RNA sequence: GGAGGGAUGACAGAGCGGCCGAAUGUACCGGUCUUGAAAACCGGCGUGGGCUUGCCCACCGUGGGUUCAAAUCCCACUCCCUCCGCCA
C-alpha cells in the first residue's frame, strides 16, 4: 500500500511516479478526494461522539447526585445526538471503505532506476554470465545432443511423465520420476545448504489466509491467478514470499534483529490464467512447482545491501551449476504490483533455445510492511515500517529443464554438475 | 467432532456497566544517592488517526448487538488451554 501521508504532502511526486506505471492522474485524484472527504466526515463524527461521551458523563453525575429529572433530560439529548452520530459514522465508514479499496488496488511507486517500458520486451539486460567468461571464453556453443527439448529427452529417460501428471491433475502439472524426482529434491537441498549461513530455514504452511495474501499484495488484485480453497477460506500460495512476509505480521521488531533473513522451500501454485498457450511445453510453465525463496525484513538503510546479497546468492547457485544466465532490470510495464525495483534472473536453456526466468529479486520498500503492519523501533525510540525484500534462490522446474538440456551427453545420458554428486550418492549421472 | 475454561499494555495480572486508556508488579528510560555498580527513592514509560499542537477520537482477540454510557452485558466467529472422540 502506498503512503497516504506522502500522497497528501507531495501529490505531484506520487502522480508522476505512478504515471510511469500507467496509473492516471485522475485515479490518484480520486483517492485524494476520498481522503479529504474521509477526514472531513471523521472530524464530524468524532465531534458528535465527543458530545455523547460528555453528556453520558453528566448523566452519571446527575444520577449519583439523585437528580433524576436532570439525568432524564440529558439522557434524551444524548439519545438524539447518538442517532446523529450513527449516521455520521456510517457515512465515514462508507467513504473509508471506498478509500481502502482504491488504495489496495494501487501499485507501488517505481524506483527512479526502473527503466521505462511497456512490457517484458522492454526489460533492460544489465549483465550476462557463462562458464569460462572470466577466463575470456566466448558464450558456449551447444552440440546437437544438447539441442533436444527436455520434454523429449527426459521423457525418453523415464524421469519426466507429463502425461501421467495431466491424468492426475490436468495439463501443466508435472510428474517427475526416479532420478528426475531426486534431482528436484537435490536442488532444494543444495540451495538450502548454501543459504544456511545467515538465512533461517523455514518450512511454512502452503495454504494461507486471505489476510496473509493481502499483505504481500497478491490480493485483491491478482485473485484470478490464485488457487482458492473456498470452503475453508484459504488460498494456495503462489510463492514462499507470502507466508514469510507475514511471519512477523503486526509485530514491532527491535532494530538489533534487522536484517531478519529467512529462506524456505515451498511448492508454489499458480493458475496462469492469463498465459494460455505460452511456453506450456514440458516444465517451462506449471501450475505447481518447487522454489526456494530468500526473504528479509530490514531497515531502509540496509535495503540495498540485502538486495545485492539475495541477488548474489541466486547468481551463485547458477554459477555453481554452470548454467549461463542474464540479469534484467524489469521495466515499469513489467514490474510486479508491490515492487519498487526488481531484477530478474534468466537461465539459458539450449534445448528450447530460450532464456528462462528462474528468479525475481525485488525490493518492496515499505509497501508490504504497511499492509502487514511490520514495524521496528529505532534507536531514538520512534517506530518505522520495515522494508521487505525477496528473491527466488531458485525456482526449480526451469533450472531442472536447463540442467537436463545443458548436460545431455552424446549417448543420451545426463552428467549433472559435480556439486550435485553428494545428493546422488556420489555420482550425479542420469542414465 | 463433543464438553469445559480462557484471550486486557513489552511480560505477568487486576478490573466485570459511569470517576477505566485501564490498578499493581516486573522490564525499560531519566534523575537522586554512590568512587563505580547494585539496592533504595523520585519521575517517565502503549498504538493509531484528526486538526485550530493543545486538545479531540479510536483501540482491552475479531465482528455485530443492548444502553444516555461497554474492557465490563448479549450474540456470532477466530485462536489458545484441559478432557473425550478420531486420525498421520
Residue-wise DSSP of A369-430: HHHHT-EEE-TTS-EEEPEEEEEEEEEHHHHHHHHHHHTB-TTS-EE--GGGGGGGTT--EE
Measure A223 CA to B52 C1' (Å).
44
Closest CA to A253 of A389, A390, A388, A378: A378
Looking at residue A251, what is its pLDDT? 85
Long-range contacts of A58-65 (CB under 8 A, 24+ apart): none
Q: Indicate whether A382 pLDDT > 80.
A: no
Looking at residue A209, what is its pLDDT? 87
Looking at residue A315, what is its pLDDT? 98
Cα(A48)–Cα(A308) distance, rounded to whole angstroms?
53
Task: Tell me which H or E stretch contains A265.
Answer: strand A260-269
Q: Which nucleotides of B are covered by protein (CB under 7 A)?
A: 10, 18-19, 47-51, 56-58, 68-69
Strand partners, A127: A327
How, if at all, do strands A200-202 and A260-269 pair? parallel
- Coil, helix or strand for A290? strand
Q: Indicate whether A193 pLDDT > 80.
A: yes
Confidence of residue A276 (pLDDT cuts 50, 70, 90): low
Contact A317, A393 (CB under 8 A): yes
C-alpha dihedral (A35, A39, A40, A42), degrees to nearest 10: 130
Query: For residues A276 and A357, which has the higher predicted lDDT (pLDDT)?
Result: A357
- Closest nucleotide relative to residue A42's CA, C1' based: B50
List pLDDT tens digits, range A233-273: 889 999 999 999 999 888 888 888 889 999 999 999 999 88
Q: pLDDT over 90 for what percent of chain A?
A: 73
Strand partners, A412: none
Residues whose C-beta lies under 7 Å from strand B: A 4-5, 39, 42-43, 46-47, 49-50, 52-57, 59-60, 63-64, 75, 78-79, 82, 252, 375, 383
- Mean pLDDT is lowest, of A74-78, A141-145, A330-334, for A74-78
Average of pLDDT values for A4-19? Answer: 93
Confidence of residue A378 (pLDDT cuts 50, 70, 90): confident
Q: Indicate whether A277 pLDDT > 70.
A: no
Cα(A213)–Cα(A94) distance, rounded to whole angstroms?
24
- Closest nucleotide relative to residue A5's CA, C1' based: B49
**Prediction ipTM score:** 0.83
List pLDDT tens digits, range A98-152: 998 899 889 999 999 999 999 999 999 999 999 999 999 999 999 999 999 999 9
Amino acid at each position: 500500500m502506498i503512503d497516504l501521508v506522502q500522497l497528501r504532502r507531495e501529490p505531484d511526486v506520487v502522480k508522476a511516479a505512478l504515471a510511469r506505471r500507467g496509473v492516471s492522474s485522475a485515479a490518484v485524484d480520486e483517492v485524494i478526494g476520498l481522503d479529504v472527504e474521509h477526514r472531513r466526515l471523521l472530524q464530524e463524527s468524532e465531534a458528535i461522539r465527543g458530545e455523547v461521551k460528555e453528556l453520558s458523563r453528566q448523566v452519571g453525575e446527575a444520577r449519583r447526585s439523585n437528580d433524576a429529572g436532570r439525568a432524564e433530560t440529558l439522557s434524551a439529548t444524548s439519545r438524539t445526538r447518538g442517532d446523529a452520530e450513527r449516521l455520521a459514522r456510517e457515512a465515514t465508514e462508507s467513504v473509508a471503505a471506498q478509500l481502502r479499496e482504491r488504495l489496495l488496488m494501487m501499485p507501488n511507486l517505481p524506483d527512479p532506476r526502473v527503466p521505462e517500458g511497456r512490457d517484458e520486451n522492454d526489460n533492460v539486460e544489465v549483465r550476462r554470465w557463462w562458464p569460462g567468461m572470466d577466463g575470456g571464453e566466448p558464450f558456449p556453443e551447444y552440440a546437437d545432443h544438447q539441442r533436444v527439448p527436455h520434454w523429449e529427452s527426459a521423457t525418453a529417460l523415464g524421469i519426466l511423465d507429463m502425461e501421467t501428471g495431466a491424468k492426475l491433475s490436468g495439463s501443466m502439472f508435472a510428474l517427475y520420476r526416479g532420478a528426475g524426482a531426486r534431482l528436484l529434491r537435490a536442488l532444494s537441498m543444495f540451495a538450502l545448504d548454501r543459504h544456511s549461513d545467515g538465512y533461517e530455514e523455514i518450512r511454512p504452511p502452503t495454504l494461507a489466509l486471505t489476510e496473509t495474501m493481502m499483505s504481500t499484495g497478491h490480493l485483491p488484485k491478482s485473485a484470478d491467478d490464485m488457487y482458492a480453497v473456498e470452503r475453508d477460506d484459504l488460498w494456495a500460495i503462489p510463492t514462499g514470499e507470502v507466508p514469510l512476509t507475514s511471519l512477523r505480521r503486526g509485530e514491532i521488531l527491535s532494530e538489533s534483529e534487522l536484517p531478519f533473513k529467512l529462506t524456505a522451500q515451498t511448492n508454489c501454485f499458480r493458475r496462469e490464467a492469463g498465459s494460455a498457450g505460452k511456453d506450456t511445453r514440458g516444465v517451462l510453465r506449471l501450475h505447481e512447482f518447487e522454489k526456494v525463496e530468500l526473504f528479509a525484513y530490514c531497515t531502509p538503510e540496509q535495503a540495498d545491501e540485502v538486495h545485492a546479497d539475495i541477488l548474489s546468492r541466486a547468481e551463485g547457485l547458477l554459477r555453481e551449476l554452470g548454467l549461463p544466465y542474464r540479469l534484467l532490470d524489469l521495466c515499469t510495464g513489467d514490474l510486479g504490483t508491490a515492487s519498487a525495483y526488481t531484477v530478474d534472473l534468466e537461465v539459458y536453456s539450449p534445448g528450447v533455445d530460450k532464456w528462462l526466468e528462474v528468479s525475481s529479486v525485488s525490493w518492496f520498500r515499505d509497501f508490504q510492511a504497511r499492509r502487514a503492519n511490520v514495524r521496528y523501533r529505532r534507536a531514538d525510540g520512534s517506530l518505522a515500517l520495515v522494508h521487505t525484500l525477496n528473491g527466488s534462490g531458485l525456482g526449480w522446474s526451469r533450472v531442472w529443464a536447463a540442467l537436463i538440456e545443458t548436460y545431455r551427453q552424446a549417448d543420451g545420458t545426463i552428467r549433472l554438475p559435480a556439486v550435485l554428486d553428494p545428493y546422488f550418492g556420489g555420482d550425479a549421472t542420469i542414465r
